[in-house]
Amino acid sequence: MSTKTIIAICQSGGEFLLERDGSMSYNGGEAYAVDLDTETSVTDFKQDLADTFGYSVDNMLIKYFLPGNRKTLIMISKDKDLKRMINFFKDSDQVDVFVMPQGGGTGALIVSSTPASRSSRTTGSEAVVLASSPVVTSHTDDFPTTNENSDLDIDNEISPESFTLENEQNVATQWEKIITGVDQRFAGFDEFREALHKFSIAHGFRYKYKKSDSHRVSVRCKSVSCPWRIYASRLPTTQLVRIKKMIPGHTCNGAAPKAGYRATRGWVGNLIKEKLRNSPNYKPKDIVADIQREYGVRLNYSQAWRAKGIAKEQLQGSYKESYSQLPYLCKRIMQTNPGSLATVDAKEDSSFHRVFFSFHASISGFQNGCRPLIFLDDIPLDAKYQGTLLIATAADGDDGVFPLAFAVVDDETDEDNWFWFLTQLKFAAPVPHPITFVANFNKGLKDSLVNVYGGECFHAHCLRYVAEKLNNDLMGRFSHEARRLMVQDLYTCAYAPKLEDFEQCCQDLKALSPEAYDWVINSEPHHWANVFFVGTRYNHMTSNFGQLVYNWVAEAVEFPITQMIDVLRGKLMELIYTRRVDSNRWTTTLTPSMEEKLRDEALKAQSFQVLPSESSIFEVHGESVEMVDVSQWDCSCKSWQLTGLPCCHAIAVIEGIGRSVYDYCSRYFMADSYRKTYAQSIYPIPDVEGPPLDADDKLVIVKPPTKRAPGKPGKRAKLKQAGSIELIRRQMQCSKCKGLGHNKKTCKEVETDEGSSTPEVLAIEGSSTPEVLAIEMGEDINNNGSS
């Protein structure tokens, strides 16, 4: 596979020009073109540039601008930085690279094109900083005298020892003259505070506000004996702020002042905002490294993580305010996508309760092209205010996931939420025939299905949840290996197509453990076993069918709720369009995956012998003898009824009587049905972040009371995986008595015979190692169940 190659236009010897909007351009110097790819090392790149420009490899700086951002220069110092730059410009053919000697010299000069008297003469590496809110104190006209009682000590959020000036080329050194002295003017107090903030970082000192109000600001060095002072006030009848007095010198000799600085998480958040916009996966550890390299400031992981949170909120909007926009968003969904259903519900105290949305394209596609089969599942949201996403997905004719409806609720365990979700779903997507639901079997969901759909539905228990309950109920009484075998037998029972196969599997389970056998018999197998289930689920056994949707949620979960909904809408819009375009190229009668399955069955049928019995009933001899009734679409192997596609025995009969096998396939697998599924489009919502409340809106939504605990979040629980991979934890096992939950040192059994074991505990040799054993319950067990 070829690697991505781009042309690096390497420039040196010129100067940077700072424009009024803060962006930079490069003027003059020489240029040299170099081919770069992901295999290029920084060492080779530097050596090539050193030979061209006459620099020393060890004393050379290489920098570039991020795409769409010409305000911040990014340094390349290691192979990872070079690969990251190539990845940033993967959609471009070339990138501008700037080379300069580490000691300064040509190529490092930044010339401003703005008036010299204004504080807008900042360097191109500066970012917009949100200033702290002014603190109102008493008013004086003259330069304030030192008064310890009136000091406003703005504590630093970063430890004093974390400031370093080891790298003289960091960006902070370009802020040393951002404040020049008396008569310097600023657009307002926010701009003055921003400049003061940067000035203190560049010179490595801390300061205190003596006075700060809407008319004047007085600041002194935090070191009590240091005379450094600055006083600025607003010019009459204008918004301009001018420095009236300044004592520039420090007598603290730099030791105490340089021990600390003011680098708040809001300041860091603003610095990294543009980088985060271009690289959403910008990691806190990379933030720590970049801030130290570019600004000479050391952060810890927690500070970088919080700063990233502030930057994300500035880019994406407020989590809190997004809840107030939900009524507006629901209106816009139904206006831009007629036929859709979107509704939001609040509690008595106006706090958020739940929101439901289903687009017309999904509703129409389900009604016109999908099987009457719906998968219900829930995904815990690791968002700022938590909650749970309820999802209803269908299966298209190619066995691809087809999202039908979503709901965000405040508490998934609330039985009323499932009832409300299913009520909205039935109203949004009514169908004239019974629906099979594959879902969990918790009491709230079971009762809600009965109450909402009544006799118009069949409830298939998700086999993954059945296996999980079996494992949990028997944990502590059986070893991990024994429970693994029990779960495997459970899957074999579930997939068994005939009653005699089911009974044989149960007997195998009974031989392993009579207790496990009783559990399976009493677990309502008519809801999960193929041989007893009366609905049609097309051999789909688990509810976590929509892995694609889980991936969407993983990308959108960190957004405010309105943007999360719009991200899901955008993903669904793209999915429908892509599949519609792809299906229009098909030339087959069935969808591609169904054509392949039918072809495999036809190959098996070539060696079968068909004997006619009656007009529509045939006897087929192969590895076994099966009876096929073509008029009823029935085969004694039960595969035809379970999947909706003719089995190998049915194909042998159909081809033998000279008919088309496609006439005996479920209409849901036809390519035309697939095209009907994706015939409608989802339309954009141009103003998702609209007004929080219309004048005629009666519904007011505020954030839910539940809030994620402060600090770094714990490891996020993995989203459910397709194929249903379960984890069965190996328990501690005593090597004396073979009992579970203790070891030989804490064993209370009286040792009689070496290696004796308690009769009521079943243990498998070699199962004493404490580890986690992953059991593949997907393809391997599925194949075992169907064999």
Task: For 190-234, write each residue's pLDDT tens digit.
Answer: 888 888 888 887 777 888 888 888 888 999 888 888 888 999 999
State mean pLDDT over 375-382. 87
270: three-class secondary structure by DSSP: helix
Least confident of 15-24, 100-109, 153-162: 153-162
The confidence score (pLDDT) of residue 130 equals 33
281: three-class secondary structure by DSSP: coil
Which of the pair, 376 or 123, is modelled with greater confidence? Answer: 376
CA–CA separation, 691 vs 329, rounded Å?
9
Reply yes or no on whether the pLDDT at 462 is more than 70: yes
DSSP for 727-764 reads EEEPPPB-TTT--BS--TTS--SPP-STT---TT-B--
CB-facing half-sphere around the CA of 1: CA atoms within 13 A: 4
Closest listed residue to residue 325, CA positions, set 699, 705, 690, 696: 690
The confidence score (pLDDT) of residue 786 equals 38
Which structure tokens are listed for 410? 């405040």
What share of residues in the chain are helix, strand, coil (percent, to 5)? 35, 20, 45
One-letter amino acid of 492:
T
Q: Output the CA angle 464-466-472, nearest 5 degrees.
A: 100
CA–CA separation, 156 vs 480, rounded Å?
53
DSSP for 449-510 reads HHHHHGGGEEEEEPHHHHHHHHHHHHBTTB-HHHHHHHHHHHHHHHH--SHHHHHHHHHHHH
Reply yes or no on whether the pLDDT at 300 is more than 60: yes
Reply yes or no on whether the pLDDT at 741 is more than 80: no
Cα distances (angstroms) measured from residue 345 to each of 327, 356, 417, 566: 9, 9, 11, 18
Local structure of residue 160 (DSSP, 8 states): G
> What is the maximum alpha-carbon separation in the chain?
114
CA–CA separation, 711 vs 309, rounded Å?
11
State mean pLDDT over 167-175. 58
Reply yes or no on whether the pLDDT at 23 is more than 70: yes
Reply yes or no on whether the pLDDT at 357 is more than 90: yes
What is the percentage of the chain residues whose pLDDT exceeds 90? 33
Q: What confidence category does residue 20 fall into, taking pLDDT thresholds of 50, 70 and 90?
A: low
Which structure tokens are listed for 226? 């240091």
602: three-class secondary structure by DSSP: helix
CA–CA separation, 598 vs 395, rounded Å?
18
Say whether pTM exceeds 0.85.
no
Reply yes or no on whether the pLDDT at 100 is more than 60: yes
CB-facing half-sphere around the CA of 33: CA atoms within 13 A: 5
Closest listed residue to residue 76, CA positions, set 99, 56, 51: 99
DSSP for 170-230 reads SGGGGGTTS---TT-EESSHHHHHHHHHHHHHHHT--EEEEEESSSEEEEEESSTT---EE
Q: What confidence category does residue 708 fall into, taking pLDDT thresholds of 50, 70 and 90?
A: low
CA–CA separation, 314 vs 664, rounded Å?
58
Reply yes or no on whether the pLDDT at 779 is more than 50: no
Q: What confidence category does residue 754 fall into, taking pLDDT thresholds of 50, 70 and 90?
A: very low
Q: What confidence category does residue 297 fall into, taking pLDDT thresholds of 50, 70 and 90?
A: confident
The confidence score (pLDDT) of residue 266 equals 73
Give the list of residues 6+ apart from residue 329 with CB closer than 8 angstroms, or none.
342, 562, 565, 566, 685, 688, 690
The confidence score (pLDDT) of residue 322 equals 86
Reply yes or no on whether the pLDDT at 342 is more than 90: yes
The confidence score (pLDDT) of residue 544 equals 75
Q: What confidence category does residue 332 fall into, taking pLDDT thresholds of 50, 70 and 90?
A: very high
CA–CA separation, 15 vs 98, rounded Å?
10
The confidence score (pLDDT) of residue 726 equals 42
Average pLDDT of the chain to the nearest whole number:
78
Give the list of residues 6+ apart from residue 9 with CB closer than 8 angstroms, or none.
31, 32, 33, 94, 95, 96, 97
Q: What are phi and psi of 617, to 5 degrees?
A: -110, 130
Do 357 and 425 form a contact (C-beta atoms < 8 A)?
Answer: no
46-50, 177-181, 543-547, 656-660: which has the highest mean pLDDT? 656-660
CA–CA separation, 408 vs 353, rounded Å?
8
- Per the listing, tokens 């985060």 go with 276
CA–CA separation, 307 vs 197, rounded Å?
17
Reply yes or no on whether the pLDDT at 759 is more than 60: no
What is the percentage of the chain residues whose pLDDT exceeds 70? 77
CA–CA separation, 662 vs 647, rounded Å?
12
Least confident of 387-401, 412-426, 577-591: 412-426
Strands 609-612 and 457-461: unpaired
Cα distances (angstroms) measured from residue 677 to each of 10, 462, 680: 52, 25, 8
The confidence score (pLDDT) of residue 747 equals 74
Which structure tokens are listed for 181? 């002295």
Strands 30-37 and 185-186: unpaired
Task: Classify each residue of 508-526 as buried b or exposed e, where b means 16 or more C-beta atoms within 10 Å of its C-beta.
Answer: ebbebbeebbebbeebebe
Q: Output the CA angle 560-562-567, nearest 5 degrees.
A: 90
Task: Classify each residue of 643-673 as buried b or exposed e, where b means 16 or more C-beta atoms within 10 Å of its C-beta.
Answer: bbbbbbbbbbbbbbeeeebeebbbebbbbeb
- pLDDT tens-digit map of 594-616: 999 999 999 999 989 999 877 88
Q: What confidence category does residue 710 fall into, taking pLDDT thresholds of 50, 70 and 90?
A: low
Reply yes or no on whether the pLDDT at 261 is more than 70: no
Do 740 and 458 form a contact (C-beta atoms < 8 A)?
Answer: no
540: three-class secondary structure by DSSP: coil
CA–CA separation, 206 vs 263, rounded Å?
10
Which of the pair, 112 or 599, is modelled with greater confidence? Answer: 599
Strands 341-346 and 241-247: unpaired
One-letter amino acid of 153:
D
One-letter amino acid of 8:
A
- pLDDT tens-digit map of 540-591: 998 877 788 888 888 888 788 888 999 999 999 999 999 999 999 999 999 9
